[in-house]
Structure formats: structure tokens, C-alpha cells
Amino acid sequence: MGKSLVIVESPAKARTINRYLGSDYTVKASMGHVMDLPKRDLGVDLKKDFKPTYLVIPGRRRVIQELKAAAEKADAVYLAADPDREGEAICAHLRELLDGKRRRFHRVLFNEITRDAVREAFAHPVEIDEHLVDAQQARRILDRLVGYQVSPLLWDKVKRGLSAGRVQTVALRLIVEREREILAFQKREYWTIEAHLEGKHPPAFDARLLKLQGKDLEIPDQASAEQHVAAAKAAAFVVQSVTTKEKRKYPVPPFITSKLQQEAVRKLHFTAKKTMMLAQRLYEGVEVDQEGSVGLITYMRTDSTRVAEGALAAARDFIQRNFGAAYLPPASIHYRNKKGAQDAHEAIRPTAVERTPESVRAFLSPDEFRLYKLIWQRFVASQMNPAVFDQTTIDITAGDYLFRATGSVEKFNGFRAVYEEGKDEKAEMEEEEELKRPLPAVEQGETLQLRKLHPEQHFTEPPPRYNEATLVKVLEEKGIGRPSTYAAILSVIQNRAYVHKQQARFYPTDLGMLVSDLLVKNFSDIFDVAYTARMEEELDEVEEGKLSWIDALDEFYKKFKKDLRLAEREMEDIKGEGIPTDEKCEKCGKPMVVRLGRNGAFLACTGYPECDGTRDLTPELAAQYGTAGPPAPDVAEENCQKCGKPMAVKRGRFGYFLACTGYPECRNTKKIVMKEGAATAVADVPLEEKCPKCGNNLALKHGRYGQFTACSNYPNCRYVKRQTLGIACPEKGCTGELVVRRTKRGKTFYGCSCYPQCKFTAWDKPVAEPCPQCGSPLLLEKHKKDSTAVRYCRNEACKYEHAVT
């Protein structure tokens, strides 16, 4: 009997599975998808029921040749791609390329890469699910129709290199609409009053003013607050009622993909993309001591909270042994899936609960360990008893006023002994912290001592900008995209410069707002949030065999084709004519239009090239003409230290900065630094050291990549002092020393101060430590992915290397 061929997507997965199957199987990797629509053409025949043209991906041709050769020698071929739409499509394409009509193909499905799961899957192979293949094909064609027919419109009307996507544009729309809410928000003043009180027993505590004569009290300004403080001070503070209720806080379900991405953002500060990359490694297999390569978690693309009964039993046994009977519910906890969830896969959980995070820590990178620990803790906690609190509410009267204090005491920590879910926003965190305040034992009718009445001014706040966690959350809630697409959506809108991150929040760029406005205006159906969600439901119906993929595409394309024809005629031409405005050119009096430049939108004279008049686009005009980007930071007013003229906020290639209004005669600028939400203009710091070129003092300046030392007489003198390492250049005959340099993209490297005469460069940091093997005057130090450091000889012929302790 010959060998059987097993095909998976990745080498890591191949290594793990190969251990479980033995010598009768040859396991090879397809390296992901092997076929796709052509890059240069639409690849979809619109006249023949959307028939796609698939080609072998250029980078996969050698892989396919190897797989074909292996298939010729095999008795059977097992297709073991991931258990989802993409995996099913990979299997269908492999069957086609490896001549599925001539030989028998088996589809094997497993939710975790463990010995038992893999052997069970091979004992019960199935057929390729054509409905899943159709659903993947429908999504791919939908995305191709939008991308390849709308993107050229943007190239023609705005600028080349832009892209539109069926789902990415809706995600961008959400960010833009949130930004507009923030820009339109009018803050409102309000005041709160807290009484600091003391009873017979410690501790002293705070109670907030809530009502006046039984009605909710709003305090709009300082005068009203002072009036209420004066009235309350004159009254006696008496306990009206004390209510204590037992409150239970229940555990949350084990992770689904979206929740894992959200929690990894909150607790680990990982991006969605990084989270999925790490989860993929944990799923495909990690070398663990005597076990060899083993999958540590179940499949990481899922929206089901279902857990196998065997895993639930193992978790209950672990909880009983390690935490005790008090933490164990009477029966396993089964969580209800959200509406529309696909139940093909389990929730994300450890493949073996006995494999605790600490037991595998030595075999994981720090980031892999942190993610595995998060997954393990959430799964174990999901099968534990609720936490129990005594929540106490004290109502206190002071004349006609009612004050209230609320606090809670934890009686039993329950699942919180292992895990507690993170919070998205500051208000949620503050509310939870407020409940944790300790309260003293007081009695009804007890008179309390007033120590202080504290009025405090507040202002209402606009809705917060999205971060990765909250954006994934809203995409999930609105039914936009699927678990496997969230990370890609967030990456694309950033890579296209439609949004940028500042303090982990998404801000739309001028370009992003402009593109979103044009697409939403001209394709009101296709980029509608509800319509996009409905398309996701239809793809699910295709997967379930309830709807033909051709019918789903036909319904979409009828609407899309009408919008496309209309947009070709009516979409504003930003590249050519610009957006008309009522503004007049200060130089020649002709009308001005909004154009898009390297640094964002600006006003330009229609008389160009005869008149080159331009103006900054004020926030008011930007909002009026639909091109408002992130608001300029609010920086305290100041005058230029060099010429005395006012400084103004300007925007350049790398963001906002403070510049002298006396430009071009005075070129003084200051970098604007954001810290804890506040913008500060950072001034140069004069140094005692003299410039070797012009004799003026040097100054510590702030640039795009941090602090640097340069001549204070800039731009007349452009001397920049390089950060030196104190190491002589190792090249023979060179008298220079090694300095820190940066590429145009900001990546650090090391070179000689005598450049360009001396060409010495190194990506890794030079260290003044001679090589003990070949005598080279220095070593290079590099840091690996697991945060360990090694020093090695720069001489390629010498293989010396040692770890840095």
C-alpha cells in the first residue's frame, strides 16, 4: 500500500499534523490560496452568470508542480485546509488543479490540531461543501466588482492609487460619520455637588446630590451650584434609607473572533491584525517540550460560543481540583449564540485546559504567551460560578435635597478569581470604580457630620472616536463583515491613508473624508450600512444552500450598475475642476475651488496657472464643503520668540505644527506634541555647545522621529549633530566614528560620520567588543522576536555568536 497525500495551508500546520499521522502519510503545504481572479482584468463574465476566470497565483506555480508530482504517487489525497469558506475554496481549487476527475479526494475537517481531533477527522472524511465554495466565490466576485469598477472612478476624479471596497468603504463611513458628530458637537456646561460625610463608624464617604424636592436636579452653571451649596450647608444631613441587595456578576462566554480582537486591544494593546497572526501560530502548532509541535488553541475564526462536551467536562474537573467546589456550577454552562452566528466551529479555547499558561510559557514568545493566557483564562472563567457582591445604597436628606452614595463589597469572587472582561471607555471604568468604594455601617435616621461640600464643573463630551476594539464591536453589531475580515478591513483603511491613528484612536484624513463623501453620495445603496449587512446575510444563505450565489450577485449588480453609470456622469471631478466654493481669490478675485494636495485639502484659484493664489482651508469651510479632516489641535496662543509676530497652527506632511505668521521672512516653527489628550507646542532647548560650522549655539530640537541636536541658526545654517556611539569606524584608514542615521521612512541604521567618503553601514547596532574568533574590532547586536539579544561577528566568514545576558 502506497502513501496518502495530505495538503494543508502552511508548513507549521503540516509539521504538527505530520506527527499525528505517521509514515503512511505525506503532508505538504499549499501556502494558502493557489488560484485567484486575474490581477489585471475583472476576471468575471457579466454576460454569463458572473462566471469567474481563475488563474494559478504566480507565486504558487512551483508549489502546484510539487503537489501534482506528489499526487501522482499517492493512493489518496486528503484536503485539510481550514474549516471555513476560504479553506473550502482552497480545497476546491486544489481538486481542480490536481485532476479531481481522475483520482479520489477526501475532505477532512478538524476544529483543533490535536492527535485525537486529527485522527478522528481522517477516520471520517467528508466531501467538499459546494455551498461553502459558492459563498466564498460570491464574496470574492462581489468584492472584485466593486473594487475593479469603482476604484478607476476615484483614480479619474480624485487621484491615482486610491481604492474602494464593498466593506472597507462602509467601515470608513462609520469613522467619518463619527468624526462629523464630534465636529458638530456643542459642549454644554453642568455641575455636580458631592458631600463628604462622616458617620458614627469609619470610613468617611462621598454622596452625590441627585434631587431637589423629589425631582431630578440639573445644575447648569456656577451661580446655581453656589446657591445649592449654600442651601444644603444650612441643613442637617440625615440618613433616609439604607438598602443592601445581593448582586451577582456572571462570567462572559469563551472568545469568538471579534471578542478576542476587542479584548486583545483593551488588555494587551495588540492590533486586530497582530492578534490574528499570533492566534494562527497558536492554532497551527508550537513546539512544546516532549510533546513536539502541538496546536494550543481551537480554530480562531468563529462566531459561535459552542464548546465540545469533552472540553466542558475537562474544564469542570480542572476547576474542582484547583479552585474547589464553591467555584463549580451544578452543571456545565452553555451560552446562547448571537442571531445569525455560524455554528460550524467551537468557540476559541485551549485544546487542553491542563496546559496552563505557565506550563507552556517557556515555549512561547512573550506576545504568544500573553494571548494564550487571555484565551485560557476566559475559557476557564466561563465555566465558573458568578461573583457575588453586597451592593449598598444610602439615601441622605439635607432639607429639600437628596444625596446618594453607592458602594459594593465583594462576598465571593467566583470567576473573577481567574478573569475579568476589560472596558472600552473611560465612563464605563469610572462607573465600575465608583461602585467599589467602601461605605460605613449607618442606620436609618442617623445624623451625619458634613465635612465638605464640593461643587465641580463639567462639560458634556462628544462621542469618543473609535479605536480598534470599538470599531470591531460596531462592525459586529451592525452585521458588517465577518470574523475573518475585521483585521483586513482595519489594515486596508490605514494603508490607503484614509484614516490614521493618534493615541490608538481612528481619525479620518482629508482624503478619507473626501473619498467617503464621494462614494456614499454616488453609491447610496451599495455603501449603505443596512444594505451591506443584508448582503452578509445573503452570503450566509448561500452557505446554507437557501440561495443561489448567482441570484445573490444578480440582485446586487442590478443596483450597482445603475449607480455606476450615474457616478461616471455626475461624481465631482476633484482632480480636474475641484469642488466649487463661494470664496474669492485674494490676488485676482476669481472663484476658488477645493483641491486635494500632498498635505490635504486646500483652496486654489480657478485662474491657475496665470494666478497661483492658494489659501488654507479653514475648519468652517472644510465642514461646509464636505472635506473636514481631523480638527486642528487646540494650542495656547503665543508669539514668535524670534520676530514677535503671532504663531499659528499649520499642517504639513507629518501633521500639525506651530509656525510664525511672518513666513517666509521668519521660518520659526515648533512641534506640537499630544500627551493625554492635550496639545503642547514644544520649544527648542538652547545648549552651551557651539555649532562647528557657524559658531552659533546648538539647540535640542524636536522632529518627526524624536529629539535631535542641530544649529539654532536654522535655516541659515543646516548643521545637524549626529548621535554618536563613541566607536571608531572599523574600515581601514578611516578616521570617522559611528553615528545613528535614519532612512527616509524613519528606520534606524548605523553609518560612518565620514559619509559619503566612507560607506560603512549596519542595520544592527555596533558594539565595541572585539570578536574572540577572528579579531574583528566590533560585534553587532540584534534582538530576536522573543526579545532575547545576541551579538555576532560582522565578518560573514566568521560564524561567532553569543547570547547577551
Residues marked active site are found at 299
Other CB atoms within 10 Å distance of the CB of residue 730: 17
Rounded Cα–Cα distance for residues 695 and 168 (Å): 55
Q: Kindly report the backbone phi and psi dihedral angles of residue 29, in degrees, each rounded to the nearest multiple of 5, phi listed first.
A: -110, 140
Report the helix count and the strand count for the chain, using DSSP H and E: 19, 39
Q: How far apart are CA 89 and CA 29, in angstroms?
A: 15
Per-residue CA distances from 73 to 3, 5, 81, 547 (Å): 8, 9, 21, 40
In this structure, what C-alpha cell is assigned to residue 282?
A: 497558536
88 grid coordinates: 473550502
Rounded Cα distance, 567 and 574, in Å? 13
How far CA 233 is from CA of 23, 220, 339, in Å, comes to 86, 20, 54
Closest CA to 163 of 460, 424, 404, 495: 495
Distance CA 740, CA 745 (A): 14
In DSSP terms, 77 is beta-bridged to: 5, 105
Q: Give one DSSP letter per residue of 684-739, joined into a string.
A: PEEEEEEPTTT-PEEEEEEETTEEEEEETTTTT---EEPPEEEEE--STT---EEE
Q: Which residues contact 223 (CB under 8 A, 6 or more apart)?
A: none
Q: How many CB atoms lie within 10 A of CB 455?
A: 16
> Cα–Cα distance between 307 and 762 in angstroms, integer?
51
Query: How many residues can be counted in the chain?
Result: 805
| Amino acid (1-letter code) at residue 757 | Q
3-state secondary structure (DSSP) of residue 540: helix
